[in-house]
Amino acid sequence: MLDISVVIPLFNEEESLPELATWIEKVMTEHNFSYEVIFINDGSRDNSWKVIKEISKNNTNFRGICFSRNYGKSAALHTGFKAAEGEVVITMDADLQDSPDEIPELYRMIKEDDFDLVSGWKKKRFDPLTKTIPTKLYNSAISWLSGIKLHDNNCGLKAYKKEVIKTIRLYGEMHRYIPVQANWNGFNKIGEKVVQHQARKYGTTKFGIERFLYGLLDLLSITFVQKFGKRPMHLFGGLGVFSFLIGTFITLYLIGDKIYSITQNMKFRNVTDNPLFYLALVAIIIGSQLFLAGFIGELMTMNSDRTTNYQIREEV
C-alpha cells in the first residue's frame, strides 16, 4: 500500500501546476515516501488538463481525473477520496498557497501521534481584511454550532487516515465540514497544525463573499441531516404529534366549556363561533401533515440510494 495519496482539486490553475508537481515530487523523494498525486480537474476552461496529462506522462506517480463540467470542490474531493489508495490522504489546493513542505509533518501526526484527521491552520494569512474578518466570524460560528474547536475549518491543507475519508459523503459546499462529519462518524481525534500560508502567485481567487452565506446554510443542512437524516420521524413526527395534541386539547376544552355552560344554564356560543376553534383546527391539520411528512421521510430513507456520481470525461 502507498504511504500517501495527495488529492488536489483544481479549476483553471494551468500556471501553477508544473511548479506544484515539481515541489511535491521533491518533498516525496527527499523523505522516501511511496505516493500518488491525484489531480481532479473540475471542468477547467484553460489548459489545466493538458498540463496534467503532460505531468502524468513524465511521472507515473501523478494521475488525473477530468470532469466533463464544473461540479465544485466538494465533488472533486469526493471523487478523489474514492480513488485514493494511500494509508494517509492529504488534500491541498493547486494555487501554491498550500506548501508541500508541510506534508512530512502532517504524515507523522497521522501515523505516529495517531490523529484521525489533522487540519491546517493558516495563522498568518496573506489575504485582505475583507476576507480574513469574515473568515474568523465564519470559523467561530462553525465551532459554536459543531463543538469542534478549529481555527481554520476552510483550510484546504488537511491530512486523514484512509478509513476516515472513505466514510465521508461530500456534496454542495460540504468540503468545509469534513472534520464535523468525521467527528460524527466516530473519528474524534482531530488535531490542528499551524501551516505556512503563501501569497497567491498566479491567477485570482475562485471564491467570492457569497461562499460564507452558502457555507452557513450548508452547516445547518449537514447538522439537520446528521441528526435526523436516518430518523426523520423523530423530528416531523414529534412536531406533528405535539401540534395535533395542542389542537385536540383546545377543541376538547371548547366543547367541555359549552357543555358546562349548558348544564349551568349559562349563556354560551357555538364552538364554531369561537376563533380558538379555527386555530385548533389548523393545529390538527398541520400536525397530521407533519406526521405524514415524517412517515414518508422514513420510507424514503429506507429505500434511498445515497451513491453520488459525477460525469468523468477522461482519466490519465
Distance CA 160, CA 109 (A): 10
| Percentage of the residues of the chain whose pLDDT score is greater than 90 | 48
pLDDT at res. 205: 61
Task: Work out the mean pLDDT of the chain and round it to a whole number.
Answer: 85
Distance CA 126, CA 98 (A): 12
Distance CA 173, CA 76 (A): 11
Burial level of 128, CB count in 10 A (0-12/13-18/19+)?
exposed
In the chain, what are the domain boundaries? 4-127+139-226, 232-303
Grid coordinates belonging to 110 = 497521522
Please, are residues 182 and 108 in contact by the beta-carbon 8 Å criterion? no
Instruction: Give yes or no for residue 264 having a pLDDT over 70.
Output: yes
Please, are residues 31 and 108 in contact by the beta-carbon 8 Å criterion? no
Distance CA 167, CA 180 (A): 12
pLDDT at res. 23: 96
Instruction: Give yes or no for residue 304 having a pLDDT over 70.
Output: no
pLDDT bin (cut points 50, 70, 90) of residue 54 is very high
Average pLDDT over every residue of 217-239: 72
Which residues contact residue 67 at a Cβ distance below 8 angstroms, ignoring those fewer than 6 apart?
40, 41, 42, 43, 75, 76, 79, 310, 311, 312, 313
- In 3D, which of 136, 156, 153 has the Cα closest to residue 11? 156
pLDDT bin (cut points 50, 70, 90) of residue 103 is very high
Buried b (16+ CB within 10 A) or exposed e, 216-235: bebbebbeeebebeeebbeb
Average pLDDT over every residue of 132-137: 67
265-285 per-position pLDDT tens digit: 888 778 888 888 899 999 999
pLDDT at res. 3: 96
pLDDT at res. 214: 64
The more confident residue out of 296 and 58 is 58
pLDDT at res. 233: 80
Instruction: Give yes or no for residue 302 having a pLDDT over 70.
Output: no
pLDDT at res. 131: 61
pLDDT bin (cut points 50, 70, 90) of residue 234 is confident
Buried b (16+ CB within 10 A) or exposed e, 237-271: bebbeebbebbeebbeebeebbeeeeeeeeeeeee
Pairing of β 158-161 and β 117-121: antiparallel
pLDDT bin (cut points 50, 70, 90) of residue 311 is confident
- When computed from its CA atoms, the radius of gyration of the chain, rounded to whole angstroms, is 27
DSSP state of 12: S
pLDDT at res. 216: 65
Average pLDDT over every residue of 244-248: 93
pLDDT bin (cut points 50, 70, 90) of residue 154 is confident
The more confident residue out of 116 and 234 is 116
CATH superfamily of 4-127+139-226: Spore Coat Polysaccharide Biosynthesis Protein SpsA; Chain A (3.90.550.10)
pLDDT bin (cut points 50, 70, 90) of residue 127 is low
Instruction: Give yes or no for residue 45 having a pLDDT over 70.
Output: yes
Instruction: Give yes or no for residue 86 having a pLDDT over 70.
Output: yes
pLDDT bin (cut points 50, 70, 90) of residue 80 is very high
Q: What are residue 241's phi and psi, to 5 degrees?
A: -65, -40
Average pLDDT over every residue of 192-207: 73
